[in-house]
Amino acid sequence: MSEMGAAHGARELWREQQRAKRLQDNDEAKQALIGQQHADLLRRTRANRPPPVSSVTWQGVTWTVLNLAEAQARLAQIRHRREHSDFHLIDQSWDFPDPEDAATHAVFLMAEEPVVVSQLTLMRTLPGHANLRIHGWICGKGLEADHLNFSLTGGAAADEDEHVQHRSCLVVDGPARLGLAVLPAGRHAFTGEVHCRTLACAHYSCNVVLAQRARIDCLINAGAGIFCHIPPEIRLHVADDVDPDRSSVTVQWHRGYRVLSPTHRISEVVAPEWLRMVEDHGPWLRHDRLDHTLGPEKLLRSEEQIARAYAGFPAMLADAFEQFSHYMQQTGMKGLQAGGSSQFSTHARYHEVEEMVDGTLMKVRVLVRHLEHSGSVRLRAIQRVDTAELRLALEDIDHAGHVLQRPEPRMCDETPEAHMVKHGLAEAIRLLRARYKIR
């Protein structure tokens, strides 16, 4: 009986301890909620404070100073007028960090007239206005600039964590004509047509919406999320990222999405003096050197050098097919794969199958680079075993797994679509050779 009583007492003690723990957890959660509500109230109070000045002049342009509440309203007007639901990404001025001291005002700057300048550097703080922390810039009637850059720390664009810490926002409501434009981490939107010679998205936390037609001669993409309503014209697209597969452009296509992947390696397009070598990751763009003295023509290699990037591609592809086929014969393997473990993940694959070619079933060698983004894209090359003829294919995969064939690029084509396929296949060859130690 005493043992039963002791067990009952232990259970009662345990239940009492659990009850006390629940009460304590509930009290802590309540206090945290009260603290969050107080912080939100304080934030909204500060967001509605009148700015210390109504306007400022920077680089020859007069900018209206908006507090966060006013900026929120202006961004919402742009979003609703353009009728684009994805513009919610520029309707979140509340997301920016609140200044820690009451004397500093978080603001957006808005140009009410078209901005036409040679050099525009968008700063975090302006000389003579230390009490303003600028979280975003709105060009209300378009932007034309030879060089656009963000100076986040009083100097050149910052790298990595500093980009995220000092993210910013640029909204151009109207047409944009830009020479060299560097966008940092943050959310950016262009509501009108865009013509840009070189666009550098300098961090993977950079998000850009292009609502109208866009022509970009060269896109240097550090893994940024770029969303287009209309298929853009991008002649050169290079990855500047620790994960080159992260760099892509997503285009609204019927009821789904179409993905535009890189066309070249960065070392094939950007001049070597503007690159720095990062151990285990290869060359990256030197953002610290992107100042007002640099134009697109100095940043990029010559047209002749860029045009030679795929001069030897057919021979390289044919050699790889021979290597992979010989390796499979030696090892008895049925296929080679590097990267993701399933067909729905980013990977490179080589296999040999029978496939219909020009209405005839025949044995072919197949090399695939599959990229998984908002939509899936498959870059493919096949080689007929009987004639050694090489063919390229660019395919979209919808969410149901159906293959949507794009126009078939030819080996001799020098189009962005052909370059996308050649770049992806060159990467597939590199990955498979590294995975199976094939030299």
Cα–Cα nearest to 145, from 120, 162, 124, 108: 120
Tokens standing for 338? 């590097």
- Residue 205 in contact with residue 223, Cβ under 8 Å? no
For residue 157, pLDDT beyond 90:
no
Alpha-carbon distance of 151 to 77, in angstroms, equals: 28
Tens-digit pLDDT profile for residues 58-68: 999 999 999 98
Alpha-carbon distance of 21 to 29, in angstroms, equals: 12
pLDDT, averaged across the chain:
85
Q: What is the rounded average pLDDT of the residues 140-145?
A: 96
Q: Is 381 left (phi over 0), alpha (psi -120 to 50) or beta?
A: beta
**pLDDT value of position 259:** 87
Edge-to-edge strand ranges of the sheet holding 143-151: 115-123, 143-151, 176-183, 194-201, 214-221, 233-239
Q: How many CA atoms lie within 13 A of 60 on its CB side?
A: 8
Alpha-carbon distance of 386 to 388, in angstroms, equals: 6
Tokens standing for 245? 């597969």
Give the number of other Cβ atoms within 10 Å of residue 283's Cβ: 16
DSSP lists the bridge partners of residue 372 as: 376
Q: pLDDT class for 79, splitting at 50, 70, 90?
A: confident
CA trace torsion 294, 300, 303, 304 (10° rounding): 120
- Residue 67 in contact with residue 49, Cβ under 8 Å? yes
CA distances from 101 to 97, 105, 133 (A): 12, 9, 11
Angle between helix 416-436 and 313-331 (nearest 10): 30
CA distances from 348 to 168, 235, 426, 428, 434 (A): 36, 25, 10, 5, 11
Q: What is the rounded average pLDDT of the residues 336-359?
A: 84
One-letter amino acid at 269 equals: V
Reported pTM: 0.85
Alpha-carbon distance of 133 to 200, in angstroms, equals: 24
For residue 14, pLDDT beyond 50:
yes
Alpha-carbon distance of 76 to 63, in angstroms, equals: 19
Report, in angstroms and rounded to the nearest whole number, the Rg of the chain calculated over CA atoms: 27
| pLDDT > 70 fraction of the chain, expressed in percent and rounded | 86
Tens-digit pLDDT profile for residues 18-44: 888 888 888 888 888 887 777 777 677
Tokens standing for 417? 């679509």
Give the number of other Cβ atoms within 10 Å of residue 281's Cβ: 11
Higher pLDDT, 91 or 432: 432
**SS3 for 24?**
helix
For residue 158, pLDDT beyond 60:
no
Which region among 80-94, 301-315, 389-403 has the lowest average model confidence (pLDDT)?
80-94
Edge-to-edge strand ranges of the sheet holding 256-260: 55-58, 61-67, 105-111, 132-139, 168-172, 186-190, 206-210, 225-228, 248-253, 256-260
For residue 5, pLDDT beyond 90:
no
**pLDDT value of position 86:** 55
**pLDDT value of position 151:** 77
Contacts of 85 (CB under 8 A, 6+ apart): none
Strands 225-228 and 214-221: unpaired
Residue found under tokens 């490179």: 348
Tens-digit pLDDT profile for residues 271-296: 998 888 887 777 888 877 766 455 55
**pLDDT value of position 236:** 97
Q: pLDDT class for 155, splitting at 50, 70, 90?
A: very low
Residue found under tokens 């550097």: 121
Tens-digit pLDDT profile for residues 259-275: 899 999 999 999 998 88
